[in-house]
Amino acid sequence: MSMPKVRVRFAPSPTGPLHIGGLRTALYNYLFAKKYSGDFILRIEDTDRERFVPGAEDYIVESLKWCGVAPNEGVGFGDGPFAPYRQSERKNLYKNYADTLVESGSAYYAFDTGPELEELRKKTHPAGASPLQYDTSTRMSMKNSLVLPAAEVKRRIDSGEKYVVRIKMPADEEIKVTDLIRGEVIVHTSQLDDKVLFKSDGMPTYHLANVVDDYLMKITHVIRGEEWLPSAPLHVLLYKYFGWENVMPQFVHLPLLLKPDGHGKLSKRDGDQLGFPVFPLEWTDPATNEVSSGYRESGYFPDAVINILALLGWHPTQAQEIFTLDELVHEFSLEHVAKGGAKFDPEKAKWLNQQYLRSKSDDTVAEVFQKQLSDKQKIYGFKMPDSEYLKKVCHLLKEKASFINEFWSLGKYFFIAPDKYDTDIVRKKWNEKNAGFFSALKEKFLVQKSFTHDELEKTFKQEATGLGIKPGEVMQLFRVIITGGAGGPALFEVVALLGKDEVMKRIERALTEFKF
């Protein structure tokens, strides 16, 4: 018997921006599907209308597109054979499945109102006690179809009284969940309550909708975050109650993403406090106008973000850290996904982006930097350089930066002469002897025919030695004269790129302004 085609889904709720943990879930689903020539689906689970946030769905779609993790079918990516993929557009079908469970005795109608349940909690569960649960021990004292006569139940429903449908949890059973990462997990039904499957607003809860949709969409593997592991026994039970056990998907619960210190789940607050994003794109909350930073806006490359996420919980078989998306598809396996939480390391993320920056062509980097440079030109008024000059600047700067948006702060001296200098170095090194050296160097550079970095360095060292000065004693001072600061790319490559006229001006300015 042939195995069914692999079909996986990423099923976020449109309640806000896509957290990096959700993006990792999408990535692992994508890699698994591509590895086995399967299908990857985007399904929007928007049954919780109270938490629905306008714009969140578009944000999710745009995030996946930016990262290059495109589903085969689903919201924003084209209809497949199981459309629609937005649960709010499928709501008419869930009621029938809820009623089927009631008819089979696996679920029941509950008419208890919120205030009634709250009053019962106060009476039976004093402050500090365990919260009241609607379960095997309490349901027969509640207002539901297990207690009320059938005629009364019908009367209430026909009159339009609000109700929910709850699963009828078995009284004394063990439910086994087989997880491809964690092995067999056994949960006793005494630990589970009678969860609501269908709400009074006519919408299903996540539990009913995701099981029904996974069945109808022929999902073979449910790859989701660890936070859904406690719900897995309920989902297994629903497959049993529906008679779908032979097509139940295999479950995979991914490890949590932890804070950099390894303590606790990674949150937006951690990113805000420690200065790194936790969302793929920038997001403005429509309710509060609060802006959350994104990887794209922070200057990360999408392929670097994918590389970062892949290594958060998955361990390749070889000592390799830099992967293309195709290489990840080839190497990825669920067997090498860890059980324990994965600690997020923002410094490692920066390092990975730096490696991708260095691997990009000068043309590619220059194209991105030119857009940023245009904004600076409007402020500072310098002449925009030609493409060849810009590519050479990018070639030098990308070895020193982690992000393209650092280029201006690291190398604005390529476009405007420094107006501030490292005063500590000037104070320590600028003296009459060194001033004489730079005056002589200026004259040498002025008549030098070959203004290449090799010839410039040769001239510099010869002139220093001829004046009884060790080249190293004036090298840092020369950098300050040219760039304003103490660090940067190879100095004589910078000097050669700036050209003779500009270098002459900068040395002349130092000779005029520096005091000793």
272-317 confidence digits (pLDDT tens): 888 899 999 999 999 899 999 999 999 999 999 999 999 999 999 8
Q: Which residues share a beta bridge with 279?
A: 294
Identify the weakest region by mean pLDDT among 113-127, 333-347, 374-388, 454-468.
113-127
**Closest to 195 in 3D by CA, of 221, 159, 231:** 231
The DSSP H or E segment spanning 177 is strand 174-179
Helical residues (DSSP H) of 217-311, grouped into ranges: 232-242, 268-274, 302-310
CA distance 272 to 313: 23
Give the up-direction half-sphere exposure of residue 232: CA atoms within 13 A in the CB hemisphere.
Answer: 29
CA distance 26 to 63: 10
Q: Which residues share a beta bridge with 165?
A: 109, 198
Query: Is residue 10 within 8 Å of 25, Cβ to Cβ?
Result: yes
- Between the CA of residue 318 and those of 331, 332, 344, 353, what are the distances in Å? 9, 11, 21, 20
CA distance 401 to 408: 10
What is the model's pLDDT at position 497?
98
| Strand-pair category, 164-167 with 196-198 | antiparallel
Question: Which superfamily is assigned to 91-254 in CATH?
Answer: Glutamyl-tRNA Synthetase; Domain 3 (3.90.800.10)
- Between the CA of residue 232 and those of 94, 239, 248, what are the distances in Å? 19, 11, 12
What is the model's pLDDT at position 2?
64
Asked whether the predicted pLDDT for residue 151 surpasses 70, the reply is yes
Once rounded to an integer, what is the mean pLDDT over residues 428-433?
95
Asked whether the predicted pLDDT for residue 128 surpasses 90, the reply is no
Mapped onto helix, strand or coil, the DSSP state of residue 222 is strand
Query: Is residue 442 within 8 Å of 512, Cβ to Cβ?
Result: no
Identify the weakest region by mean pLDDT among 30-44, 118-132, 337-351, 356-370.
118-132
What is the model's pLDDT at position 114?
85
Q: pLDDT tens for residues 45-102?
A: 998 888 899 999 999 999 999 999 999 999 999 999 999 999 999 989 999 999 999 9
Radius of gyration, CA atoms only, the chain: 32
In the block, tokens 């539990």 appear at 207
Q: State the first-to-last Cα distance of the chain, in angstroms, to the nearest integer.
A: 89
Query: Could you give the percent of the chain with pLDDT greater than 70?
Result: 98
Query: Is residue 180 within 8 Å of 215, Cβ to Cβ?
Result: no
What is the model's pLDDT at position 107?
98
What is the model's pLDDT at position 35?
97
Mapped onto helix, strand or coil, the DSSP state of residue 186 is strand
Tell me the residue ranges of DSSP E strands in 238-303.
250-254, 257-258, 283-284, 291-292
Q: pLDDT tens for residues 355-365?
A: 999 999 999 99
What is the model's pLDDT at position 117?
86
Asked whether the predicted pLDDT for residue 428 surpasses 60, the reply is yes
Query: Is residue 314 within 8 Å of 28, Cβ to Cβ?
Result: yes
**Closest to 337 in 3D by CA, of 183, 200, 201, 197:** 183
Looking at the annotation, which residues are catalytic?
268
What is the model's pLDDT at position 120?
78
Phi, psi of 335 (to 5 degrees): -65, -25
**Mean per-residue pLDDT over the chain, rounded:** 94
CA distance 314 to 7: 21
In the block, tokens 């085969």 appear at 72
Contacts 24+ apart (CB under 8 A), 316-325: 321/352, 322/352, 322/355, 322/356, 325/68
What is the model's pLDDT at position 48?
86
CA distance 58 to 388: 38
Q: With 0.85 as the threshold, say if the pTM is over it.
A: yes
**Closest to 325 in 3D by CA, of 64, 79, 8, 74:** 64
Phi, psi of 320 (to 5 degrees): -125, 140
Q: pLDDT tens for residues 5-17?
A: 999 999 999 999 9
Question: Which superfamily is assigned to 268-357 in CATH?
Answer: Glutamyl-trna Synthetase; Domain 2 (1.10.1160.10)
* Cα 105 off chain centre by: 43
What is the model's pLDDT at position 100?
97
CA distance 115 to 112: 8
Query: Is residue 400 within 8 Å of 410, Cβ to Cβ?
Result: yes
Asked whether the predicted pLDDT for residue 1 surpasses 70, the reply is no
Asked whether the predicted pLDDT for residue 453 surpasses 60, the reply is yes
CA distance 358 to 421: 28
Cβ contacts of residue 272 below 8 Å, gap of 6+? 293
More confident residue, 185 or 49: 185
Asked whether the predicted pLDDT for residue 27 surpasses 70, the reply is yes
**Closest to 300 in 3D by CA, of 406, 400, 392, 374:** 406
Once rounded to an integer, what is the mean pLDDT over residues 117-129?
73
Query: Could you give the percent of the chain with pLDDT greater than 90?
Result: 89
- Between the CA of residue 281 and those of 18, 71, 390, what are the distances in Å? 8, 18, 28
| Fold adopted by 423-513 | Arc Repressor Mutant, subunit A (1.10.10)
103: confidence class by pLDDT, cuts 50, 70, 90: very high
Q: Which residues share a beta bridge with 109?
A: 165
| Strand-pair category, 283-284 with 250-254 | unpaired
| Topology alike, domains 91-254 and 423-513 | no
Domain ranges in the chain?
A: 91-254, 268-357, 361-400, 423-513
Cβ contacts of residue 490 below 8 Å, gap of 6+? 396, 453
CA distance 14 to 231: 20
| Strand-pair category, 283-284 with 291-292 | antiparallel
In the block, tokens 């042939």 appear at 2
